[in-house]
Structure 1
Amino acid sequence: MSYRIVNGKPYLVGNLAAPSQTSKSTTDVSKKSFKDILNEKVNSKNYGYKISNHASERLKDINFSNADYMEIQRGFDLAKEKGAKNTVMVYKDVALIASVENNTIITAVEKNRAQENVFTNVDSVVIL
């Protein structure tokens, strides 16, 4: 029985896994360029919660500052302390519907668009 040392670890000869010989086809290539993906990662802010695509589209029109997003994080913290699962956060004439369990803002509704709307499946309200 013989051994081969690879990266400081002994392996029995014959047990080495051969590198896979996969070739990339044109269907595997992402439609985004490396530069686009890198810019998204660099410019993305990590507030401790996620923003869904739907909420992101709505928040583009609202123009929150970094301080506003930090205040929303405080809202998540308050809701978690009370054991909330799904909450409505009211902040600056905007209702943010959030899943506290998943740390995700599901949608955002401005005051002028929220008239005659009903929010269901919500167990708490956080007023910031």
Structure 2
Amino acid sequence: MAGKVEGIKPPFVPIGGLTGLEKPKPAAPPQSSPFRELLKAKLQDDKRIRFSAHAQTRIESRNMHLDESGFEKLVNAAEQAKSKGAHEALILMENMAFIVNLDNRTVITAMDQEGLKENVFTNIDSAV
């Protein structure tokens, strides 16, 4: 039989021998890809808070204004409550209050000063 030496098939050796082969080079670090950018943006979005349609309607109908610093305070309060293990939080700020579902980072409803006087808050496990 061709290719056998004393009944044993020798291993494949490329032409030029083993010394002719190039050493494998380490993989280049991946360049920025659309997936990587999308993942990075998604992770950033996960740190932000969204407003439900109901909360947006309440904010508009009650003429409430939340500037950038107020929004950052809301985000920080939500992160603080989440770090303590809360799931639904009442977040009180100056003359406004927000009920926030911390698991999906969504403001469920919003109240102004007048709404605070009349409401009983249920189904919350923390207040900030």
TM (normalized to structure 1)? 0.59
CA distance in 1 between counterparts of 2:78 and 2:116 reads 21
Unaligned ranges ≥5, structure 2: 1-44
Instruction: In structure 1, give the amino acid aligned to 2:58.
Output: R
Matched, 1:52 2:55: no
Look up the match of 2:118.
116
**Aligned pair partner of 2:66 in 64, 84, 92:** 64
Q: Indicate the structure with greater strand content.
A: 1
The Cα shift of 1:69 comes to 0.6
Which residue in the other structure is 2:105 paired with? Answer: 103
**Partner Cα distance (2:80, 2:46) in 1:** 19
Taking the aligned partners of 1:81 and 1:105, their CA distance within structure 2 comes to 17
Q: Deviation above 6 Å: which 4+ runs of structure 1?
A: none
Q: Which has the larger radius of gyration?
A: 2
Mapped partners of 2:88, 2:116: distance in 1? 18
Say how many residue pairs are matched: 82
Q: Percent identity among equivalent residues? A: 30
The structure with more helix, counted as a fraction of residues: 2
**Alpha-carbon shift at residue 116 of structure 1 (Å):** 2.9
CA distance in 2, matches of 1:97, 1:107: 5
CA distance in 1, matches of 2:109, 2:52: 7
Q: CA RMSD in A?
A: 1.8
The amino acid that maps onto 1:50 is R
Structure 1 gap segments, 5+ residues each:
1-44
Q: Does 1:79 align with 2:81?
A: yes
